[in-house]
Structure 1
Amino acid sequence: MTLGDIIKEYRKNQHLSMDAFSEKSGISKAYISLLEKNKHPKTGKAIAPSIQCIKQAADGMNMDFNTLFSMIDGDVSLKEDNTNDKSQFTSRDERDITSDLNSIMEKLKSGEDGPASFEGEAIPEADQELFAGQLELMLRRLKAINKEKYNPHKKK
């Protein structure tokens, strides 16, 4: 079983959205989505969670780290996790990202700029959560790119 499978099963049993589990564990919704799909969108390779990510997931599920670690398939290669690394962002950056994400999602849900649909069909709540996770990932990447591009010499 992958970490994503375990998280997905836990969320299903506890009736938790990705957003709720994200708040409980400290893992971003975007990364939870990647873990559950177990496929990196660019490379197509399996996601290899860091020790820190597994620890956060264990804490979020009120589970012992060793118990969770033993449940994960043995062929998982562990590596440094940069996708969930928030240390490059200041608290102001985090507030900006959260604010932008909440604003965009509120507009999507309220229909302020038109109905949220794809090919004429309303977007289901579960897909909106996946969209929010991907949007958060894009906002984080954009923030990092902009910090490097417009403030290359500023201490991060």
Structure 2
Amino acid sequence: MRTLYETLSSLCADRGIKPGKMCADLGFSRSTVSDLKMGRKKTLSSEYLAKISNYFGVSVDYLLGNETEKAPTLTKKDERDIARQLETLSQSLESGEGLMFDGDPLSDEARESILQAMKLGLEAAKLRNKEKYTPKKYKKG
């Protein structure tokens, strides 16, 4: 089982950055990684782990060595794309005259429910497609 430092080091190498740059990007002290490297710390707080997992697009379980393969996660770009698609859907729902739900005009609650369901569907589809269509050479574990 890999240590947290080994996993972080590998993720940084995959991205072509140094651990110090990761710390600067996330607002951590460089000693955070140094402590892991020297064995003074074995793990980090859940807050730090969450920030690192979002930064690299991996799960916290992967960081901790509980998963051998990186599970696909949504990147900031994916989230922006989904937000744009939802905005387009929202505008089309608002401009659609005569939209009915069980014979009644579409209420704000119903519109919001539709948008939330679409968001869940878009996120699930994006993750499924990442898993299915990412070439094996980019799936490092």
TMscore range, shorter length: 0.3 to 0.5
Q: TM-score, normalised by structure 1?
A: 0.39
Greater RCO, 1 or 2 (C-alpha within 8 Å, sep 6+): 1
Structure with greater proportional helix content: 2
Q: TM-score, normalised by structure 2?
A: 0.43
Higher CA-based Rg = 2
